Amino acid sequence: MAVGELVLPEFNLIKGLRIGTASAGIKKQGRKDLVIFELAEGSTTAGVFTLNAFCAAPVQVAREHLQTTAPRYWVINTGNANAGTGALGLVAAKQTCAAVAELTEVTAQAVLPFSTGVIGEPLPMQRLVEALPQALATLSEAGWADAATGIMTTDTLPKGATASCIINGEKVVLSGVAKGAGMIKPNMATMLGFIATDATIAQPLLKQLLKEATDQSFNRITIDGDTSTNDSCMLVATSQSANISAEDLVAVAAFRDCLVSLMQTLALSIVRDGEGATKFVTIHVEQAASSAEALEAAFTVAHSPLVKTALYASDANWGRILAAVGRARGLENLDVNGVTVYLGDVLLVEQGGRAASYTEVAGAAVMKQEEITLRIQLGRGQIQETVWTCDFSHDYVSINADYRS
Amino acid sequence: MAVGELVLPEFNLIKGLRIGTASAGIKKQGRKDLVIFELAEGSTTAGVFTLNAFCAAPVQVAREHLQTTAPRYWVINTGNANAGTGALGLVAAKQTCAAVAELTEVTAQAVLPFSTGVIGEPLPMQRLVEALPQALATLSEAGWADAATGIMTTDTLPKGATASCIINGEKVVLSGVAKGAGMIKPNMATMLGFIATDATIAQPLLKQLLKEATDQSFNRITIDGDTSTNDSCMLVATSQSANISAEDLVAVAAFRDCLVSLMQTLALSIVRDGEGATKFVTIHVEQAASSAEALEAAFTVAHSPLVKTALYASDANWGRILAAVGRARGLENLDVNGVTVYLGDVLLVEQGGRAASYTEVAGAAVMKQEEITLRIQLGRGQIQETVWTCDFSHDYVSINADYRS
C-alpha cells in the first residue's frame, strides 16, 4: 500500500552495535515484537522525545536514565505502548530495564525502554521478560533488517536507511531504522527511530546534531496531525571510527549533511507508508515572513481533511488549499491577492483566484501522479519551509476504526 | 443520515419579513437555489462573517454594504460560492446586488449577497439574474421552510428553529434557518445562518447580541476543523413588536437567552447533519484555568482524526482522547495525573490511566449510542466550556472526495 518504492537498503554494519530480536507474543503470537540494541562501552547516545504532555511510561524512564548514565542497551517492544498505564506503567518500564540489566550485568539505568502499540493496556511483563534471553542470544551486527521489521506496528513495510561519509580521510558509516504509520506529526509523532554511527562524537555535540537533523526530518512530516505519547528517536555514536569534534566545522557539517539525509529518508518512508496513504505530497511554502509562519501555513494545508480528501480523489481543488492557507494561525493579515500556488509545475492560483492560464487537463495530469508537489508562495518575505504529508483515504478510516478490534 | 431527529419546526412568522425562492439552475437544474429575504423598512440588521483571510467576494460586499446602509434584501445562491474568483467575483457580487436593487427600487447598497457551494468557478450571472423576478414574485411571510431547503448544499436535511419570549408583557418571536454540513469550525465555518425577530432593537445592541449568541452556538461546533471562505450569519430585527433597549437589562437577558437557544438549535442541527456523521458528540472540558485553554483542549479532541475514527467505530479509545488533550496548545504544563475523563456517566480515566472501576462493557454501552458525551476534567481551575462535534466516517471521505465530480 505504500506510495513509491520502499525497500530496505543493504545496511552498513556499525562496529560496536549489535541487534537481537525475539517473539514475546505481546499482542500477536509468533511475530518478532521485541528488539534489543546493544551499544559498546564508550558509546555516546542522544535522544529526542515526544512533546505530548501525556507521555508514556517508557519515555519518562528513558529520559530519566539518559540523564544519569551512558546507555548500553535499548529495548523495544511493539504491540503495547505502555502509555496511560499510570504508576503501574512506570513500574513495568523499570522492571523491563532491571530484567535486561540482570541478564547483561549492567545497571538498570544503562537500559532505555521503548514501547509502541495500543495505549492503556498493561504491559504483559511475564511474556516480555521471558523473551529477553532469546533476544540477547541473537545479538548480531547484522540485525538491522530484523530490527526494522521488529519495531513495526501498523506499518505495511519495514523502514531503514544507510549512509556513509568521509571525515578527515576516514570512512564513517550510519544506519537507522524507523517505524511510523499513523499519529504522525511534527514534534515526534508515533514514531520510533533508532540510528547509529561508528563515529566518535562527544555527547553534547551528538545531542545538538540529533536535534538539528530531527527538525529537518521527523519534525517536517505529518500524517494526521495527531502526535503520540511514545515518540522517541535515538542516535548512538559507537566511537569506533573518526573523531568529530565540535571545533572541526568542516567535519561537523559533513556528518550533519549525512545524518539529515539519512533521517529524511526514514521520515519520508514513514509518510510513504502513512495509514491508508495513496499519495505522497510535498508542500513547499515560499515567500514567508518567518519560518514559523511558513510552517504554520504548510501544516495547516497538510492537516486539512478537505485538502487531504481532495488529494485522495486526485482533485485539483485549489479553493480548499487557499481556504486552509487563509485560516492558518499567525497569518491574519494575509493578502490573498499576493498568494500564488503551483501544482507541480502548473500555475494554479494567482491573485487570489484560479490562474488564467490554468486548465483542468493540466491540473488533472499532475494530480493523477502518486507523488505531488504543492508550491505555495505567500508574497510576504524570503523564507521557505517544506513539509511532507500524504492523503486521507477510506483506508485511513478503516485502519483507525478497526485498530483495537 | 443525520444523527437524531431533524424536523423543521412550525416557524413563527416574522412580521416585516418575507421570503421568496426560485430555481436559477446554478449548479443543478430544477432545484430551488436562489433565496431572497425582504426586510421591511425600519429593520435593523447585524452580521458576523468568516475570519478566513481568504474570504469570498459576497462576504466582502456584504460587509461593505452593511457598514453604509440598512439592508432591505438578502439574496442567497447555492451551488457556487463565488470564492477565489478574484476581481471578477467582486463584480459578480455587486452585479447581483444591482440587479435586485433595480427590480425593487432600493439602492444596491441595501442588498447583501451570500453564496455557498463550489469554490473558484465563475458565478453564472445570467441564470442568476434571470431567476430574480421569480424569487421576488414568491415573497411571502410563510417562506421559511422553502428558505431552509433553498440554502442547502451537501446538507441532507433542511435546518430551522423558531422561538418566542415575552418582553415587558409583549410576545416577541424569532425564526431562523441555517446550512452547514462540511467545512464547519468555530469562527464561522461553511455555514450560512439567517435569523429574524419582530422585536425592535437598535443596531449596536443587535450586533452585540448576535456576537454573544454566535460565541455560544456556531463558534462552539466543528465538523472537520476546516473553516470556510463564505460563512455569514445575519440577524434582523423588523421593529414590529416590543422595543428592547440596552438599558432594560431584564429584557435584554430574556431576549439573549431566547436567541442563544434558537442559535444553539441551529448549530447543533449542523453537527447532527455533519458530512458522513453517525455520532453526535458533546465535549465538556471542565476544571480549566481559562476559557481559552478549555476551548483549546475541547477542539483539539474534537478535531483529532484518531478520536473521530474511534467514535465512528464505537471504540472507547481513551488513550487517543488523552493523547489529544496532551498535545493541545497552551496546556504544555498539564499534569496528566490530574486529568479525569467521563464517557457519559462512566468514569473512564483517572490519574493518567484507565480508571480501576472501568469496564469495557460499561464503555461499550455508552459508545454504541448515537449521542455521546465526553467530560474531560483538567484539574487546573474552575472554568468550563462545551463544544459539539461528530465522528469521522467512510462517508466523510466519500463525500469530500467526490464533491466536485
Report whether B320 contacts B307 (CB < 8 A): yes
Measured distance CA(B283)–CA(B343) in Å, rounded: 10
- Residues B295 and B329 sit within 8 Å (Cβ to Cβ): no
Q: Are B35 and B21 in contact (CB under 8 A)?
A: yes
A190 is catalytic: yes
pLDDT given at position A190: 66
Contact A53 B392 (CB under 8 A): no
The confidence score (pLDDT) of residue B376 equals 96
Q: How far is A119 from chain B (nearest CA, A)?
A: 5
> What does the pLDDT look like over B144-197, one tens digit per residue?
999 999 999 878 899 999 999 999 999 999 999 999 865 544 333 468 999 999
Q: B89 and chain A: CB distance < 8 Å anywhere?
A: yes
Confidence of residue B2 (pLDDT cuts 50, 70, 90): confident
Q: Specify the pLDDT at position B1.
A: 60
**Contact, A236 vs A110, CB < 8 A?**
no
* CB contact set of B11 (below 8 Å; sequence gap of 6+): B142, B144, B145, B160, B162, B175
Checking if the pLDDT of A384 tops 90, the result is yes
User: What value does the mean pLDDT take over residues A323-328?
Assistant: 85
Helix, strand or coil, per DSSP, at residue A155: coil
Q: How many CB atoms lie within 10 A of CB B302?
A: 29
pLDDT in tens, B102-133: 999 999 999 999 999 887 889 999 999 999 99
Mean pLDDT (whole number) for B8-36:
95
B378 CB within 8 Å of a chain A CB: no
- A and B: number of Cβ contacts within 8 A: 219
* pLDDT tens per residue across span A101-127: 999 999 999 999 999 988 788 999 999
Q: What is the mean pLDDT of residues A44-64?
A: 91
CA distance A21 to A43: 21
Confidence of residue B227 (pLDDT cuts 50, 70, 90): low
Residue type, position B37, single letter: F
Q: Grid coordinates 561508528 are at which residue?
A: A198
> Does the structure show a pLDDT above 60 at B359?
yes
Residue-wise pLDDT tens digits, A180-236: 865 544 333 468 999 999 999 999 999 999 999 999 998 888 765 556 678 899 999
Q: Average the pLDDT over A252-277 and give the result.
A: 91
What would the grid cell of residue B182 be?
Answer: 462540511
Average pLDDT over residues B389-405: 70
Give the chain A residue nearest B86 (alpha carbons): A353
Question: How high is the pLDDT of residue B130?
Answer: 97
Which residues are CB-contacts of B88 (< 8 A; sequence separation ≥ 6)?
A353, B122
Supply the pLDDT for residue A225. 57
Domains and CATH numbers, chain A: 17-272 (3.60.70.12), 280-402 (3.10.20.340)
* CA proximity to A345, closest of A357, A333, A327, A329: A357
A405 pLDDT higher than 80: no
Whether the per-residue pLDDT at B339 is higher than 60: the answer is yes
Question: What predicted TM-score, i.e. pTM, was given to this entire model?
Answer: 0.80
ipTM rounded to 2 decimals = 0.70
Mean of the pLDDT values across residues B76-100? 93
pLDDT of residue B57: 93
Residues 235-264 of chain A with CB under 8 A from chain B are none
Residue A1 has pLDDT above 90, yes or no: no
Return mean pLDDT, chain B.
90
User: Which residue's C-alpha cell is 524512564?
Assistant: A61
Q: B143-171: buried (b, 16+ CB within 10 Å) or exposed (e) per residue? A: bbbbbbbbbbbbbebbbbbbbebebeeee
Q: Which of A190, A214, A222, A300 is catalytic?
A: A190
pLDDT of residue B305: 82
Percent share of chain B, pLDDT over 70: 94
Strands B243-244, B200-201: pairing is: parallel
Q: Residue B270 in contact with residue B6, Cβ under 8 Å? A: no
The more confidently predicted of residues B165 and A6 is B165
Question: What residues contact B325, with CB distance under 8 A and at least 6 apart?
Answer: A53, A54, B297, B300, B301, B331, B334, B336, B339, B376, B378
pLDDT at B181: 63
